Structure 1
């Protein structure tokens, strides 16, 4: 499962796991500090914000060349560009400092932080294990000319599968990024699997936007999204040459977040655009 749906709201599993971990940290901190009337809620919020900030800044620094041409995109968190390890270490360091400064805070803050980090870490490891055990789905699709296509036909090279629709604003925004990557990365196969629309609608949209894409496929029943466990668009899946899933991204991709994801399946490929 890649996403959790609650009515019209859909959250990626990584975001859902972070929210649940933080709520658990708040509850454990409140429970352990109730007798001393010491609730570490403000400190835990501060740790979360600092951790997220450091995780974002670390990602931007790592892929600064891809943000340089559009500096405001550094503030656009919709691309999901975060590096978890620097953020986690920064949060832990701040937590230790806060506990050192306030003796009354040590027990509730320490227990709350420990509960949240352990839950997040174990959940993250489980999600990674489940993801890496996933194989390329057995799914029959059709191309824009109505010819049947099997996903298994594309095994043998690193593979990116983008689930999208013409009515989806983030899908439309990220499409030029994927189109550019398809031209730049000849060693990686990109599949654009439209969800629930017909060939004419897709053709008209691509023509109107001046997008020339290879491997545009149709999933009229939107079965592939359900099969991989995603209720969100866009969803992008990353497979190695053997058809084993190595990553996924729910929501809009930026050039930086796409380059980061491609490193998992094609580390020897040049994922950073060459400058003239």
Structure 2
């Protein structure tokens, strides 16, 4: 069952490491660092692809599917991320993630394998998109610099929000670092510091802002922005259900004090 869920690359890592006649401790460390390198390499590639592709309004990419089939291909690319991303957060999705690691390490490496899959999804979306070739508007002069500053600020907000939520979880580092130390992953507490004092979903808000603060507008960018913004508004509802089940009254108190996505005067969380 688990072998069927492994990607070819991960299966190769498992077989290679499994065939090594090394002590269990050293083999565990080799697995941890192999998954760590794979995770952060794909993560970095995905982030770079996102920043560059959206900066040009999705008008520059490697996709070359002929039209009208390109429309269907692009729809599939933009939908696969929110659909699969959400499914992986279910119990069945957790079992799937467990099968992406060598036997016995699936639970520990769950955050790492989740980050790997999400990064592959994002890399596919932004690198394989087939541009329509239509450019509606391109910022020039002072507007160009103002919008570029807003775009950079949106990405900095996303980085800050991810740090406030627990950078080790968001980047996938928690899994492989825990395995390397032969320790059970210790997840950060419910995020209430930093940007989480003012809105409950700063990561989703920041990601949505990166979609709209671009200096080039095309039909491609509009379709992407509308679809993923809708996801950013809806998906956190499911996340908050999990938080309510996990943290109980503590989350309900936090929820009453802090707005969902738009900061409001006088509303913030104070421990």
More helix by share: 2
The structure in which a higher percent of residues are strand is 1
Structure having the higher Rg: 1
Q: Same fold (TM over 0.5)?
A: no
TM-score (norm 1): 0.24
Give the TM-score normalised by the residue count of structure 2: 0.24
